[in-house]
Amino acid sequence: MTQIRDSIELDFCDVLFRPKRTTLNSRREADVIRKFKFKYYPQTLMSCGIMAANMATTGTFEINDVLQKYQAITCLHKHYDFQNKENYRYITQNYDKPESAHNSYTFISTGLRDDKEKLFALLADKNFKIDKLCIDIANGYIPKLTDFVKEVREKFPDILIMVGNVVTGDMTQDLILSGADIVKVGIGPGSVCTTRKLTGVGRPQLSAILECSDAAHGVDGLICSDGGCTCAGDVAKAFGAGADFVMLGGMFAGTDEAAGDLIERVVETNEVIKEGGKTRFVQKTERYKQFYGMSSQLAQEKHFGGMACYRASEGKVVEVSYKGSIENVIQEILGGIRSTMTYIGARELKNISKCTTFYRVNRQLNEVFGKS
């Protein structure tokens, strides 16, 4: 018989942090760098826990170059061919840059349809200095994924493995016990994702984080909340709900360092000016960058030479307003998180969830009059 779970499921927009008495006097006292320890990966990692998504637009070398300075992570997209000498050299040279801390902040990515032999050869290559792997498929519940995680862990006991995506505690624990250090959580929340529309499957992200983090921490694993953050407050809420890492796509899209051409369009504003006795609307140039889902029709065409007939697009293509350098975005996010920490009395990133009480609300943002 069909079952219905009628407990309330929450998204980021359904909650706000309750401020608490604090011993912090300034956001400068809030430490956003956390020392991460992992279940299998033998090393520690000092990081702010923010990750750029392994999407073709955001998992780029250029984003990696900037984010590593902030001790933030980039999951390179899986379409970089490391048999190409320049790409290979990027990784080996990046290893020697002081700010990169020896590629500490760089993951490579794979799906299940990709060339396994090539991947294993790269991970075994002592000159290719990456020891962090993101195994990413849309439906983390298929048995082939668990088998693959076991196989990779057996072959490479000392690498850092992140795998996903799931939204329930049972599967989170399965993947960790199969060899994952981090489980990626999120089905359907992504800004260019249409899974919920196409399949009717998904779970509100805050509830998914609450359940999966509890399950993961119980077996010494960690989770990464993936998708659905639209502003710095959402990133803080993901940490507040128990996420160890937070992955962002749309928030990093539209930046100089994101892949894709800048699109310029001249548009008429509502403002009117008089010129030579005639009135006309003032024009302005709007700038955008294209951002697309990795299972959108466009991505399938660009990277796989077309959509296989048994698949349907579960992603869309959008134009994101141009944001300038990604430095502006990461600084705003880290500033926002520091401020949240000050409001709730969390001196360290790891303590955000311990200090979190959420109010359930029915409106996240104030109404605005006019455009800002």
Question: 57: how many CB neighbours lie within 10 A of its CB?
Answer: 27
Determine which residue in the list 191, 225, 290, 342 makes contact with ligand 5GP, applying CB under 6 A.
Answer: 191
Question: Can you spell out the DSSP letters for 177-222?
Answer: HTT-SEEEE-SS-STTB-HHHHH-----HHHHHHHHHHHHHHTT-E
Q: Is 193 tagged catalytic?
A: yes
Cβ-contact 202, 167 below 8 angstroms? yes
User: Quick check: 233 binds ligand 5GP (CB under 6 A)?
Assistant: no
Site for ligand 5GP in 47-76 (CB under 6 A): 53, 55
Rank residues 210 and 235 by Cβ distance to ligand 5GP and give the closer one. Answer: 235
Cβ-contact 76, 109 below 8 angstroms? yes
Q: Is 195 tagged catalytic?
A: yes
Q: How far is the CB of 313 from ligand 5GP (least distance, A)?
A: 7
Burial degree of 201 (CB within 10 A; 0-12, 13-18, 19+) = middle
Which is catalytic among the residues 13, 48, 134, 193?
A: 193
Number of residues that bind ligand 5GP (CB under 6 A): 25
Cβ-contact 135, 159 below 8 angstroms? no
Rank residues 295 and 342 by Cβ distance to ligand 5GP and give the closer one. Answer: 295
Radius of gyration of the chain (CA): 21
* CA–CA distances in Å: residue 34 to residues 72, 193, 234, 239: 11, 30, 19, 12
Q: Which among 39-47, 107-115, 227-235, 346-354 is the span making contact with ligand 5GP, rule CB under 6 A? A: 227-235
Binding mask 279-318 for ligand 5GP (x = CB under 6 A): --------------xxxx-----------------xx---
Cis preceding linkage at 165, omega within 30: yes
Determine which residue in the list 204, 233, 242, 249 makes contact with ligand 5GP, applying CB under 6 A.
Answer: 249
For the annotated catalytic residues, the residue numbers are 193, 195
Which residues would be at the binding site for ligand 5GP (CB under 6 A)? 53, 55, 138, 165, 186, 190-193, 195, 226-229, 247-251, 293-296, 314-315
